[in-house]
Amino acid sequence: MQRPLWSHLFYRLMQALLLLGGVLFFRIRLRGILREPVEGPVVVVANHQSHLDPPMIGMFFRRPLNYMARETLFKFPPLGWLIYTLGAIPIDRDGVGLSGMKETLRRLKYGQMVLVFPEGSRTRDGKVGVFKPGFCALARRGGVQLLPVGIAGAYRAWPRTRSFPCAETIQIEVGPSLGPEEIATLDDTALIAEVRARVETCVAAAEAHC
């Protein structure tokens, strides 16, 4: 399954605009992009600091990202149309609902990349929160790779308590992925702990450059 041509072109246009704006306004940089798998299904697992996270992470990847977004966001046009066009998948507030899970698995089946935030919502204090187990089911299907990503500075740029973002340096770090063989050796508890540790390592590396 491929995106329609018009959707693909729109995605690339928005990616270019976001990259320009992110570099100029937030002095954003990403390290470790060569760790992005060149093919096959990938679940990108990241910490969640602000509303900036999905576009700031996605604008660097060579392969289009599918985003998991709270279903309530789709009820506010034109935001709903925009995120749908950019590949967002609606999920319920408690994590991945049944319909969201099916659609996510369908896209992974076709070898696509999906971005998830296992914390479920934006951090309240800038720290990496508790990871929910929803991504484990995705990771165990069809040879999926898990790619940890850490973002730093986005919380200072746009915390939950502020209506609009301000100019702050944002840094992103991509860590080494976990392949299907390694995932298969871990139960859910161990997998969550391993992925969270890798994301925290990425966050610390990104924070060092802020």
List the chain domain ranges: 30-207
Phi/psi at 90 (nearest 5 deg)?
A: -70, 135
Cβ neighbors of 194 (< 8 A, separation 6 or more) are 178, 186
The pLDDT of residue 7 is 87
The pLDDT value recorded for residue 91 is 82
Give the separation between CA 123 and CA 210, rounded to whole angstroms.
18
The Cα 203–Cα 129 span in angstroms is 12
Q: Tokens 């704006």 — which residue?
A: 21
Distance CA 190, CA 187 (A): 5
- What pLDDT does residue 96 have? 46
* 68 vs 142: CA distance, rounded Å: 19
Element (H, E) at 173: strand 171-174
Pull the structure tokens for residue 145: 């790779």
Q: What is the model's pTM? A: 0.92
Query: In this structure, how many other beta carbons lie within 10 angstroms of the beta carbon of residue 81?
Result: 11
Return the SS3 of 86: coil
First CA to last CA across the chain, in angstroms? 38
Helix H or strand E encompassing 91: strand 88-91
Per-position DSSP letters for 99-129, written without gaps between them: HHHHHHHHHHHTT-EEEE-TT-S--SSSS--
Cα-flanking dihedrals φ and ψ of residue 111, to 5°?
A: 75, 25
Per-residue pLDDT of the chain (210 residues; tens, 9 = 90+): 677 888 889 999 999 999 999 999 999 999 999 999 999 999 999 999 999 999 999 999 999 999 888 888 788 888 888 888 888 898 875 544 577 888 999 999 999 999 999 998 899 999 999 999 989 999 998 789 999 999 999 999 999 999 999 999 999 999 999 999 999 999 999 999 999 999 999 999 999 998
| Beta strands across the sheet bearing 88-91 | 29-31, 171-174, 145-152, 42-46, 113-116, 65-70, 88-91
